Structure 1
Amino acid sequence: MPASSRHHLSTSPPAFREEFFRNTSRQWIFNETDRLNERYVKFRPTELQRIAGEVVQQDYCPDSTKFAEGGFNKVFLLRANNGREEIARIPTPIAGPPHYTTASEVATRNFLRSVLKLPVPEVLAYSTTSNNPVGAEYILMERVKGESLSSRWLSLTTDETKDIMKQIADIERKIFDFYFPTYGSLYHKKDLNGET
């Protein structure tokens, strides 16, 4: 999302902006109202900022920016007074089955990071239910600093492109070489409440 279209919210004093809840990055030719409603998520930004602050040993993350959004998640950058930054992902209603989508994303990220040792941002906190102070499911994770590949892709040399493609292929090989005895999604046992 271009910086000019990012929406900024500083909640000191508390302020709520509708742009945080609704889709602001896309338009539809047909049934636009329906498509926008499918992606509308009402939540409590100040509670998200409070929880994000606790994760980095601060009282609060006073600075919050809508960083990106796609069809399935809204992504926010939260910055604490000590400079620590976190990314918050809030799924939209069409992301998938409530609870299970967030639970599986967390377990999959943790598996990729801890078992396969892939460079995946660390999950710092999450909730698989909207029955929480934020009022929505969320994932808080570390922000990985750096430049996006898409911003550099056209200026890369052939050798740099080959090196990046090899790195991507190596990551995919690690994933595809891992043997899973069954098909399905990954979950942490604690997120299934006795389900199998």
Structure 2
Amino acid sequence: MANKVIMSSSASSTCFHTDPRIKMTFDVVNWDALSSLACKHFQVDSSHWGAQKSGGYNLIRFLHLHDSQNTTLIARVPLRDEEGLDTSIPKRIESEVATMEYVERYTNIPLPHVCHYSVDAGGDVRSPYILMTKVEGTPLASVWDDMDDEKRRIVLRQVIGVLLELWSHRFDKVGALFKRPERGGGKDPWYIESSTVLKNPTDTIECQYNLLTTSFPHAADYWLAYSNAYLRNECETRFGYKAKEYSYAHGWFMRSLVPALFDPSNDAHGHPLTHGDFHSQNIMFTDLDTHPRLSAVIDWEFSGTEYVSTFGQYPFFIVDHPWWDEDHPLRERNVRDQATFDEILFEEERTSARVGGAPLSRLISESYGVYLFQQVMQFPREMYAPLFPLLVKHVLGEYGDFSYSYFDALLENGILKKELTRFDQEAEAFLEARRVLGEEKVKMLIRLVEFKDLIAKDLERFNEGSVVREWLASVT
């Protein structure tokens, strides 16, 4: 199979007419200034722009230098919208460049080389950018399904090699990797900052409850805090939602799993460097017709250090998709691929030095519950809906009569009985408020604090002894 030029997953093809940010970004950037900068850096007289790609975060253009080697560079600029650039972009670029330099310097993992970059939205180019070398190869995503088992084994061995390299590089906390200017004195230039610097503040549970700015020494602490924040969020949002008691019970069930799934001792030896999007579209291979050879791992945006339990999971390209039917043909193949992965990883661990703590092979082979837990907790309800039954079945042995009875028992007679009464009262107060004040004023999915403020302003419209007045008295 012929090799293809490829770039990061954030540069996967997107139809220009579907995303107005693409034209907006293209029109803002001074492409002549960027090409002149590249020519000056490589000491060539001229160049021309080639293919253009885009994705969720970036616009990519290929720059062909007119030199004797026919050098091709990738110019990547972040997408902007009508409000401008995401304020986190400078830090995001700094961290990505630092991570790529660290990996290039201290590991044998092949990756693009950063030739030049800027975090400045002004200047001649009028945009932050990264100029990097083009890598040869085909994304594993486009060939994996058609590979025979022997070539898949060859590929998995090299993928495991990448994971073991990253696994061996540990840092004292979880976050984004940065680099200070190197000066004399022997001070380590590499350091970790909170992952919050890579994200714009949004109404997520992590940001809302400051979890990203808190340093948790191990995953058990983090997920316990996350679960508690999830439960608080359930109480504070979707006021009066009829089925809230079940989503709350689900959150309570998730929190109860933390001690069983996350062993604090696993993080005692530090947190491994982790690729931010280690999917098959970012793993490049050449020589596919003979002996597949890993040519590069690309797209290091959002990379950093992670908890051992997050790192220690199967690559997603050999994990069942939650929306697959039970008889999906790739399920059986994933079972075989995971068995091959386990076998190779165990073999590699026996012949190479490893860091302290539980071996990666054991963590990955036992990672199914952790994988399901993290997917359910981190994605919106509509996305994790297929996964929650799988997690319940994994823990309780079934998702059916017994699990339904389990949750009903928690709510009706068990530890969550008080919460059930509370949510029922809220639902009654919400319905009464809508009848009295109107549906336009009392909107669906209103937050608790918003509902409380709304009622306080129109309290005289509710009779003494009304459900709303009783509810308000119970929370003030």
The interval holding the TM-score normalised by the smaller chain is: 0.7 to 0.9
Q: Cα deviations across residues 124-165 of structure 1 (Å, max 9, x unaligned)?
A: 000011122111000001111223323332332211112112
Moved more, 50-59 or 97-106: 50-59
User: Aligned runs of 1:88-167 on 2, under 5 Å?
Assistant: 88-93=75-80, 97-167=88-158
Assess if the C-alpha contact under 8 Å between 2:98 and 2:179 holds in 1.
yes
Structure 1 ranges of 4+ moved more than 4 A: none
Q: Percent identity?
A: 22
- Matched length: 162
Tell me: higher relative CO, structure 1 or 2? Use CA pairs within 8 A at least 6 residues apart. Answer: 1
Determine the C-alpha separation between the residues in 2 that align with 1:74 and 1:158: 36
Structure number with the higher helix fraction is: 2
The residue identity in structure 1 corresponding to 2:106 is V
The aligned residue for residue 12 of structure 1 is: none
The aligned residue for residue 54 of structure 1 is: 40
Determine the C-alpha separation between the residues in 2 that align with 1:81 and 1:38: 27
The aligned residue for residue 74 of structure 2 is: 87
The residue identity in structure 1 corresponding to 2:159 is I
C-alpha displacement at 1:65, in angstroms?
A: 2.5
TM-score by length of 2: 0.32
C-alpha displacement at 1:64, in angstroms?
A: 3.2
Determine the C-alpha separation between the residues in 2 that align with 1:162 and 1:26: 41
Distance 1:109 1:58, change over 3 A: same
Structure number with the higher strand fraction is: 1
Determine the C-alpha separation between the residues in 1 that align with 2:47 and 2:133: 14
Assess if the C-alpha contact under 8 Å between 1:116 and 1:174 holds in 2.
yes
Determine the C-alpha separation between the residues in 1 that align with 2:107 and 2:45: 34
C-alpha displacement at 1:108, in angstroms?
A: 0.9
Aligned residue for 2:36, secondary structure, equals helix
Distance 1:77 1:95, change over 3 A: farther
Aligned residue for 1:99, secondary structure, equals helix
Determine the C-alpha separation between the residues in 1 that align with 2:163 and 2:17: 30
Coordinate RMSD, CA, aligned = 2.5
User: Aligned runs of 1:2-41 on 2, under 5 Å?
Assistant: 24-25=15-16, 27=18, 36-37=20-21, 40-41=24-25
Assess if the C-alpha contact under 8 Å between 2:22 and 2:59 holds in 1.
no
The aligned residue for residue 169 of structure 2 is: 178
Assess if the C-alpha contact under 8 Å between 1:130 and 1:136 holds in 2.
yes
Distance 1:119 1:76, change over 3 A: same
Aligned residue for 1:186, secondary structure, equals strand
The residue identity in structure 1 corresponding to 2:37 is I
Moved more, 150-159 or 161-170: 150-159
Gaps in structure 2 of 5+ consecutive residues: 5-13, 182-192, 194-476
Rg larger in 1 or in 2?
2
Determine the C-alpha separation between the residues in 2 that align with 1:186 and 1:38: 29
Assess if the C-alpha contact under 8 Å between 1:71 and 1:95 holds in 2.
no
